[in-house]
Amino acid sequence: MQGPLRFSRVLAALLLTASGWAAGVSAQTTAAPTAAPAAAAAPSGGIKSANIFEVKPDASADPNYANQTNAERAKVQPGNNAPIWRQVGTGVTGYSSLPKSEAPEAGNLIQPFVQYPGSRLTNAGEAWRQVRNNWLIPYGGSLLLIVIGAIALFYFGKGTIKMHGTNTGHKIERFTPFERSAHWSNAIAFCILAISGIVMAFGKFFLLPVMGLTLFGWLTYILKTAHNFAGPLFAVSLVIVFFTFLRDNMPSRGDIGWLLKGGGLLSGKEVPSHRFNAGEKLVFWGGVFFLGIVVVASGLVLDKLVPGLLYVRDTMQIAHMIHAVATVLMMAMFIGHIYIGTIGMEGAYQGMKTGYVDETWAKEHHEYWYDDVKAGKIPAQRSEPVPPSQTAQA
């Protein structure tokens, strides 16, 4: 067993010595250029070595230096390909045999110069990177932290908005099963999108240092896929939510007064409202309608689901920047909504969970709506009531 092994080691040593000797010889040959005629160095393709004494060190003093073509530059500074790379960097499109309709960016390595809002005038890829890293990430992240901080201050300072009276035991149906399922499908999709979006955008600052590269890479990959699938679900459920709650979110008399008094949040005396107060209407029109359209439209572009659109790099860059701004604003709005809908107001979550609220809750938070129900203008039970036998089983 030892024999063949030793033989192969000896052979390897001999080969190494021989190649080292050969390298030494060739090094000596190149070190003495006058001794070896130029014809002896056979051209081998790629970048050729150059004699340092033949390169003009003061070539840059030539007034035409910056305008030289690559061929001209090669004469004075062999191996210096700056002109060709400068051309590539300005977005020059070369020849490609691929059809323009299917591969419009083929032959174009680096995009042309552009100035996106907040970036310098530079290649579009770099301009997009500057907008993302210098604006969207720091300011978007700060806005979310400020909103969470303000809500935390309010919660620890003022606490939950409690009910003043006691429950009567008489229930009013606030949300039908259809309304609740529309709302919760939308809310679940929103949570998946918000969590995955936050991890994709900001995760490297707070998760990567804790999880390490491999785990964070996998987590982001999984969440990115979840984001792409939850997006269309959110889009569809948002449209349903919009039409379901549209009627009761129409502006009405008293909305301006409600807003001017901040709903009575600080005075502790809640301003009367119809089924939805002006704050809820603001979230509806600003968050569900306006931001909803922008977020969904830009998201569908990023998901490449809009037919007939050319999905080239600048389309994706612009869609991404719009999507990032609108989603951060939407998250800021819905963080407030989720707070009021859970720990911020006693009884609100119960209403969306079970569909029913106590009369006292209705009177204290939506007095005009309560009056309309009591006056018989709005039925206290709008959906088909569940038979008592089924309620007992549940």
The DSSP letter of residue 271 is P
Asked if 187 touches ligand HEM (CB under 6 A), the answer is yes
Residues numbered 83-112 forming contacts with ligand HEM, rule: CB under 6 A:
none
Per-residue contact flags (x/-) with ligand HEM for residues 276 to 295, judged by CB under 6 A: x---x--xx---x-------
Asked if 190 touches ligand HEM (CB under 6 A), the answer is yes
Asked if 118 touches ligand HEM (CB under 6 A), the answer is no
In the complex, least distance from residue 307 CB atom to ligand HEM, rounded to whole angstroms: 25
In the complex, least distance from residue 270 CB atom to ligand HEM, rounded to whole angstroms: 12
In the complex, least distance from residue 309 CB atom to ligand HEM, rounded to whole angstroms: 25
Out of 351, 355, 363, 370, point to the residue binding ligand HEM (CB under 6 A): 351
CB 279 within 8 A of CB 329: no
Binding segment toward ligand HEM, per CB under 6 A, in 111-119, 224-232, 275-283, 381-389: 275-283
Out of 113, 341, 371, 372, point to the residue binding ligand HEM (CB under 6 A): 341
Report the C-alpha gap between 143 and 148 in whole angstroms. Answer: 9
Look up tokens 């890293």; give the residue: 133
CB 359 within 8 A of CB 170: yes
In this structure, how many other beta carbons lie within 10 angstroms of the beta carbon of residue 4?
Answer: 8
Report the C-alpha gap between 337 and 334 in whole angstroms. Answer: 5
Out of 147, 338, 362, 373, point to the residue binding ligand HEM (CB under 6 A): 338
Asked if 196 touches ligand HEM (CB under 6 A), the answer is no
Out of 154, 216, 349, 356, point to the residue binding ligand HEM (CB under 6 A): 349
What angle, rounded to 10 degrees, do the helices at 124-131 and 313-339 form?
A: 10
Amino acid at 344: G
Instruction: Show Cβ contacts of residue 126 under 8 Å, excluding neighbours closer than 6 positions.
Output: 119
Out of 68, 77, 111, 186, point to the residue binding ligand HEM (CB under 6 A): 186
Asked if 356 touches ligand HEM (CB under 6 A), the answer is no
In the complex, least distance from residue 378 CB atom to ligand HEM, rounded to whole angstroms: 14
What angle, rounded to 10 degrees, do the helices at 137-158 and 177-206 form?
A: 120
Residues numbered 247-266 forming contacts with ligand HEM, rule: CB under 6 A:
249
Max Cα separation, the chain? 112
In the complex, least distance from residue 329 CB atom to ligand HEM, rounded to whole angstroms: 12
Per-residue contact flags (x/-) with ligand HEM for residues 297 to 336, judged by CB under 6 A: -------------------------------------x--
Pairing of strands 113-114, 122-123: antiparallel
Burial class (CB in 10 A: 0-12, 13-18, 19+), 366: buried
114: three-class secondary structure by DSSP: strand
In this structure, how many other beta carbons lie within 10 angstroms of the beta carbon of residue 11?
Answer: 10
CA distances from 28 to 15, 16, 31, 34 (A): 20, 18, 5, 12
Contact footprint for ligand HEM (CB under 6 A): 174, 183, 186-187, 190-191, 238, 241, 245, 249, 276, 280, 283-284, 288, 334, 337-338, 341-342, 348-349, 351-352
